[in-house]
């Protein structure tokens, strides 16, 4: 979590590079009658056991099957995760929670020793997370014991048996409906209040936002094959309008919004990060005047590596670090900590901090089955769409970055940069929710590819989730492994900046590309594709029948004619002549990387050299220094980088 913006377009001669947005195409699923159960006379095949479990549980507890399916979809997208708990101790397709041992300390376990400010003009800030004092487990994290009491099903069975888990969820919904004084109606429209209560939220806004998401699933329908091979379908009900009146009788509190910067479609509360002076330092962010002073260019996705209550304690510690928002796993509640105008200390690179908004998601990088809920993905996507619209941020992987895509600001910082949210964050699904799905945009011989494996079926081996060298649980992944030749027995690609040999470690980014990232093609060989990566030719399996990348159009840069190579930078700082009196010149030092002649790299944007000087508690000395030098942001390795526009030539790589 150590880890979290600004107008370069005002600079004379600045030219923006933007991608054409790809509209999200959606269609209602034409399935059987809405909410209808599968015919009981048909045998429950192995691929349809879960569908029949939903039908049986709905009938037993007098809950509309469509409501039960939609709630489960929002909890887990119907996945069972092999009985492993989520970050909040949730189990099974209904995400029934039993978090007595799941409230962990909020230390960030994603590898990295970075200075979260990433500003070499100031002493490195290396705060330590302190485990929160023990506290009672909230009711939203104790739904599994309640389901056990309602059904008589043992808790262990509710954790490990998907059918039992679904029955437990149906019992909870039925109990919520009864508590609200509502009848066990067969009409899905009558279950809004019970669905809101099922979320576990103790405030009206969060419960309503959760229920609204469930009813959106009901209206659009869904169909997918789960992580254990089960085919589950929910028929679309486009005209369904719920009765929201029962929610007013639910006795939930009202959260103070306190001027939060969130869309109306989410539940948002204010938990401010303190701006306080102490000793010779201050924390835990810097006051700014964005976007008037600088344009916000990036959104950085993080995971918390800890549970909600502990994370809320940390953000209120002025001696710790900061980020702009946190999103809760169980119900998608958003807490805002730092206003968009101010600069949070989250990304480990001051240039990116000054131009970004950081969003933490309750989850763990190295626990593939401590899964991110659909409620959290959807809430996050709504927030990011809102921020992108307000600040003009393109919805692509050059501007919506993972913390693991942020470059080290200097060579010394590269080995310590963080690696979250990691290979188990589903970028493909996330961008579908953002309304900008990754698709093929060029012919098969295009010079650019977009990385796009099928998340569920793409399962590379990772190690180190529980112990160094030990295999992680078999799991879907958004990342593709790179080799030095078109052979899986060939050595992995090496990142010279890390100063280590490459491994399959879950935190080792040296030889991995991620969904949505784009690279220039360096060669093809049968089912293999090579791309230019970290100054090398890197190969990955890309069979036509099950592709891990698709052809794309894109702008690419290469060294100018006559140059053997050009340097790559971790930050786009101005030339020394741009600094006014009173602002120390920041050195423009390249990373240990270059682009050799003959190689090309995909461009994300053109940006001016820019530096935000903010090293004092009072803002009278703060300055935004903007130079004449222009840079291109490029996809260099797993992380982005920057090259001087004067060093390279730009061309369109069409398919």
Mean pLDDT of 630-654: 96
- Rounded to an integer, what is the distance from CA 280 to the centroid of its chain? 35
Round the average pLDDT of the chain to a whole number and report it: 89
Model confidence at 108: pLDDT above 80: no
Q: How many residues does the chain have?
A: 655
Helix (H, G, I), strand (E, B) or coil at 118: coil
Over residues 410-459, the pLDDT tens digits come to 999 999 999 999 999 999 999 999 999 999 999 989 999 999 999 999 99
**Helix axes of 162-179 and 65-76: crossing angle, nearest 10 degrees:** 110
Rounded CA-CA distance 235/553 in Å is: 36
Q: Tell me what pLDDT residue 106 has.
A: 39
Mean pLDDT of 615-626: 94
Model confidence at 3: pLDDT above 70: no
Q: Are 575 and 37 in contact (CB under 8 A)?
A: no
Model confidence at 223: pLDDT above 90: yes
Q: What is the DSSP string of 382-428?
A: HHHHHHHHHHT--SSTTTEEEGGGSPPSSGGGGGG----S-TTS-HH
Q: Which of 11, 115, 4 is nearest to 610 (CA)?
A: 11
Mean pLDDT of 315-323: 92
Q: Are 655 and 446 in contact (CB under 8 A)?
A: yes
Q: What is the DSSP string of 167-195?
A: HHHHHHHHHHHHHTT----S-GGGGHHHH
* Per-domain boundaries in the chain: 49-100+137-249, 559-653
Mean pLDDT of 91-109: 69
Rounded CA-CA distance 19/438 in Å is: 12
Q: Tell me what pLDDT residue 126 has.
A: 72
Cα–Cα separations (whole angstroms), residue 585 to 121, 363, 408, 581: 9, 39, 19, 9
Q: pTM to 2 decimals?
A: 0.89
pLDDT band at 296 (very low <50, low <70, confident <90, very high): very high
Q: Which of 517, 538, 543, 291 is nearest to 423 (CA)?
A: 517
Model confidence at 632: pLDDT above 90: yes
Q: Tell me what pLDDT residue 26 has.
A: 34
Over residues 564-610, the pLDDT tens digits come to 999 999 999 999 999 999 999 999 999 999 999 999 999 999 999 99
Q: Tell me what pLDDT residue 509 has.
A: 97
pLDDT band at 40 (very low <50, low <70, confident <90, very high): very low
Query: Please, which residues have CB within 8 angstroms of residue 521's CB and are 6 or more apart in sequence?
Result: 446, 447, 448, 449, 529, 530, 531
Rounded CA-CA distance 22/452 in Å is: 15
Instruction: Report residue 371 as tokens.
Output: 């899964």
pLDDT band at 32 (very low <50, low <70, confident <90, very high): very low
- Where is average pLDDT lowest: 230-239, 243-252, 336-345? 243-252
> 279: how many CB neighbours lie within 10 A of its CB?
6
Cα–Cα separations (whole angstroms), residue 95 to 9, 151, 236, 372: 46, 16, 23, 11
Q: Tell me what pLDDT residue 19 has.
A: 35
Q: Tell me what pLDDT residue 131 has.
A: 52
Q: Tell me what pLDDT residue 278 has.
A: 85
Mean pLDDT of 504-511: 97
Rounded CA-CA distance 43/341 in Å is: 60
pLDDT band at 45 (very low <50, low <70, confident <90, very high): low
Mean pLDDT of 144-168: 97
Q: Provide the pairing of β-strand 298-303 with 356-361.
A: parallel
pLDDT band at 218 (very low <50, low <70, confident <90, very high): very high
- Where is average pLDDT lowest: 39-48, 212-221, 526-535? 39-48
Model confidence at 8: pLDDT above 70: no
Q: Are 568 and 595 in contact (CB under 8 A)?
A: yes
Q: Tell me what pLDDT residue 14 has.
A: 34
CATH topology of domain 49-100+137-249: Lysozyme (1.10.530)
Q: Are 196 and 210 in contact (CB under 8 A)?
A: yes
Give 421: exposed, middle or buried? Use CB within 10 Å, 0-12, 13-18, 19+. Answer: buried
Q: What is the DSSP string of 52-88?
A: HHHHHHHHHHT--HHHHHHHHHHHHTT--GGG---TT
Q: Are 412 and 497 in contact (CB under 8 A)?
A: no
Residue 368 or 408, more confident: 408
Mean pLDDT of 111-122: 82
Query: Please, which residues have CB within 8 angstroms of residue 603's CB and are 6 or more apart in sequence?
Result: 17, 554, 555, 556, 557, 632, 633, 634, 650
Q: Tell me what pLDDT residue 30 has.
A: 28
Percent of the chain whose pLDDT exceeds 70: 90
* DSSP 8-state class, residue 204: H
Q: How many helices (H) and strands (E) does the chain have?
A: 11, 28
Model confidence at 113: pLDDT above 70: yes
Q: Tell me what pLDDT residue 204 has.
A: 92
Mean pLDDT of 372-389: 95
């Amino acid at each position: 979590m150590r880890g979290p913006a600004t107008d370069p377009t005002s600079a004379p001669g600045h030219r923006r590079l933007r991608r054409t947005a790809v509209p999200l195409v959606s269609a209602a699923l034409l399935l059987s009658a809405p909410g209808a159960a599968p015919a009981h006379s048909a045998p429950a095949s192995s691929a349809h056991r879960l569908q029949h479990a939903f039908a049986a549980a709905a009938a037993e507890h007098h809950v509309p099957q469509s409501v039960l399916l939609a709630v489960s979809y929002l909890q887990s997208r119907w996945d069972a995760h092999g009985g492993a708990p989520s970050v909040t101790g949730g189990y099974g397709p209904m995400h029934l929670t039993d978090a007595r041992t799941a409230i962990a300390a909020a230390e960030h376990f994603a590898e990295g020793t970075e200075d979260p400010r990433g500003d070499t003009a100031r002493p490195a800030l290396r705060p330590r997370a302190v485990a929160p004092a023990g506290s009672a487990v909230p009711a939203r994290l104790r739904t599994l014991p309640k389901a056990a009491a309602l059904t008589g099903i043992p808790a262990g069975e509710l954790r490990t048996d998907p059918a039992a888990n679904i029955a437990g969820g149906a019992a909870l919904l039925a109990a919520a409906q009864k508590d609200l004084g509502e009848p066990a109606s067969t009409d899905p429209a009558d279950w809004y209040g019970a669905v809101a209560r099922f979320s576990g939220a103790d405030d009206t806004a969060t419960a309503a936002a959760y229920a609204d998401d469930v009813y959106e699933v009901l209206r659009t329908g869904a169909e997918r094959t789960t992580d254990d091979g089960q085919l589950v379908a929910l028929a679309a009900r486009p005209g369904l309008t719920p009765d929201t009146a029962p929610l007013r009788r639910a006795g939930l509190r009202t959260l103070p919004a306190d001027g939060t910067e969130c869309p109306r479609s989410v539940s948002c509360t204010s938990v401010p990060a303190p701006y306080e002076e102490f000793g010779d330092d201050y924390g835990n962010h810097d006051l700014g005047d964005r976007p008037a002073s600088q344009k916000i260019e990036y959104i950085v996705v993080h995971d918390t590596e800890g549970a909600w209550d502990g994370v809320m304690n940390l953000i209120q510690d002025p001696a710790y670090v900061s980020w702009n928002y946190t999103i809760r796993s169980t119900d998608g509640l958003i807490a805002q900590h730092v206003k968009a105008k101010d600069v949070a200390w989250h990304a480990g690179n001051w240039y990116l901090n000054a131009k970004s908004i950081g969003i933490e998601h309750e989850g763990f990088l190295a626990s593939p089955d401590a899964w991110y809920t659909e409620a959290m993905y959807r809430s996050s996507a709504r927030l990011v769409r809102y921020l992108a619209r307000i600040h003009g941020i393109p919805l692509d992987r050059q501007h919506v970055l993972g913390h693991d895509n942020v470059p080290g600001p200097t060579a010394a910082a590269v080995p310590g940069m963080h690696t979250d949210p990691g290979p188990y964050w589903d970028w493909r699904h996330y961008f579908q929710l953002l309304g900008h799905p990754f698709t093929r945009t060029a012919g098969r011989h295009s010079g650019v590819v977009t990385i796009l494996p099928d998340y569920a079926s793409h399962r590379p081996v990772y190690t180190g989730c529980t112990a160094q060298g030990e295999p992680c649980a078999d799991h879907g992944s958004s990342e593709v492994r790179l080799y030095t030749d078109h052979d899986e027995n060939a050595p992995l690609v090496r990142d010279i900046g890390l100063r280590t040999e490459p491994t399959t470690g879950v935190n080792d980014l040296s030889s991995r590309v991620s969904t949505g990232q784009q690279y220039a093609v360096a060669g093809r060989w049968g089912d293999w594709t090579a791309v230019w990566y970290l100054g090398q030719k890197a190969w990955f399996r890309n069979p036509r029948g099950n592709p891990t990348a698709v052809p794309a159009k894109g702008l690419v840069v290469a060294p100018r004619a006559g140059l053997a190579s050009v340097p790559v930078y971790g930050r786009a700082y101005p030339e020394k002549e741009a600094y006014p009196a009173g602002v120390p010149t920041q050195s423009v030092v390249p990373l240990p990387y270059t682009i050799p002649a003959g190689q090309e790299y995909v461009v994300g944007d053109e940006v001016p050299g820019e530096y935000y000087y903010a090293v004092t508690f009072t803002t009278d000395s703060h300055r935004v220094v903007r130079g004449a030098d222009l840079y291109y942001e490029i996809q260099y390795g797993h992380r982005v980088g920057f090259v001087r526009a004067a060093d390279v030539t730009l061309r369109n790589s069409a398919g």
